[in-house]
Amino acid sequence: MKILAVCGMGIGSSIILKMNIEKSLLRLGLQGEVEVADIGTARGAAAGADYVVTSGELAPQLGGLSARIVVIDNFINVDRITDALQSAFSSTS
């Protein structure tokens, strides 16, 4: 599974989100490749992604992707990220 972590600038917050997605995947007993992108390059980067994880503010800009958009309201809270991913994974299986 490929997951793309998207933030506005693609620097600090997407790296934090990437690390916390990886922690969430470990908690869920799943493996995945997590990459980062800023909103400007997200469309191209999401071409091969299964999931795109981003904020509610950026999600509308990513409409029309084949990847499933997972909205996260807190990039730091691993429990919330885990819950959102688990919900997204279970609704597509």
**pLDDT interval class at 12 (50, 70, 90):** confident
What stretches of the chain show up as alpha helix (H) in DSSP?
Answer: 12-28, 42-45, 78-92
| Residue spans per domain, the chain | 2-92
* Whole-structure pTM value: 0.92
pLDDT of 74: 93
- pLDDT digit string, tens, across residues 19-55: 999 999 999 999 999 999 998 889 899 989 999 999 9
Task: Name the pLDDT band for 10 (thresholds 50, 70, 90).
Answer: low
> pLDDT digits over 73-87, tens only?
999 999 999 999 999
CATH for the 2-92 domain, from 3.40.50.10300, 3.40.50.2300, 2.60.120.1140, 3.40.50.10470: 3.40.50.2300
The answer on pLDDT for 14 being more than 90 is: no
* Angular region, 27: left φ>0, alpha ψ -120 to 50, beta rest: alpha
